[in-house]
Amino acid sequence: MRFEDGGEAADLGAFLGRLLHYDRAAAVRLQAGGGALGVFGRPPSFEVLAIRTARLGDDALALDVTVSAGELLESLDESAATARVPAAVTGPPWAGVLPPRGGWEPVPGLPEPERMRGVVAAAVAEFRARDGALPAESRTRGERERIGHEIWSRTLGTTELPLRAVHAAQSLGFLRPVRALASAGPAGPEAVALFASGPWLRLRTSYGSVALRRAGAGGLGVRPV
């Protein structure tokens, strides 16, 4: 694959590195066409699909394959703005169930990005406080998972978006701290929006998206793509 420039390759590399931080054996599904590359991954524990796009220097490239995230990262050459597509792997179940490509409608009620970051910080602090207050005999994995599920299943503002989706967006570098945005130089207002298509929700930022099925919609998978 040939990217439009080295910056596109570097941004993709940063995304792959974050996925691998959560799962050293992570796989990603690649879809390319029309000069654009879509990279889909699913970091454990967040229960969302992470989506990063990159502009390609080859409009004719058509691709749809699931590969090792680690092998793809190793093949990236930022100076040459290229990457070798690794051999296909047997994809995990989520790789066969991607969000729809169209039909997305804006959803109102999303707070400002700074407020969203504050809500995530407060949720992290609450989890740590409640975890620290557990008596030794109750400090089990099951109890910690129960607390985490309670906190991260809460919805954001007046939307149906669970906090875990916002936490995932921030952890993957899609929802960046103010200091990171300032160091990147002037780039206009931070673009963050929420969309819905059928049972799916998609939180989109200037740096990537996270998508998930709404509560009660049956998890991450009924529609092969």
For 74-88, what is each residue's pLDDT tens digit? 999 999 999 999 999
Average pLDDT of span 185-197: 75
Rounded-to-integer distance, Cα 44 and Cα 20, Å? 10
Give strand ranges (E) for the chain. 27-33, 36-41, 49-55, 63-68, 105-106, 192-197, 200-205, 208-213
Query: Which uninterrupted H or E stretch holds 181?
Result: helix 178-183
- Torsion angle, alpha carbons of 214, 217, 223, 225, to 10: 10
pTM equals 0.87
- The confidence band for 218, taking pLDDT boundaries of 50, 70 and 90, is low
Pull the structure tokens for residue 92. Answer: 């995990």
Q: How confident is the model at residue 216 (pLDDT cuts 50, 70, 90)?
A: low
Instruction: Assess contact for 85 and 67: CB atoms under 8 A.
Output: yes
Cα separations (Å) of 162 from 56, 146, 156, 212, 218? 33, 15, 6, 9, 15
What distance, in Å, lies between the first and last C-alpha atoms of the chain?
A: 22
Q: Using the predicted structure, report yes or no on whether residue 182 has a pLDDT greater than 50.
A: no
Decide if pLDDT at 217 tops 50.
yes
Mean pLDDT of the chain: 90
pLDDT at 91 over 90: no
pLDDT in tens, 122-168: 999 999 999 999 999 999 999 999 999 999 999 998 999 999 999 99
Alpha carbons 148 and 150: distance in angstroms, whole number: 5
The residue that leads in pLDDT, 222 or 213, is 213
What is the C-alpha to C-alpha distance for residues 123 and 152, in angstroms, rounded to an integer? 8
pLDDT at 179: 52
Give yes or no for residue 215 having a pLDDT over 80: no
Q: What whole-number percentage of the chain has pLDDT above 70?
A: 90
pLDDT for residue 185 is more than 70: no
Q: Does residue 214 surpass a pLDDT of 90? A: no
Contact 225, 96 (CB under 8 A): yes
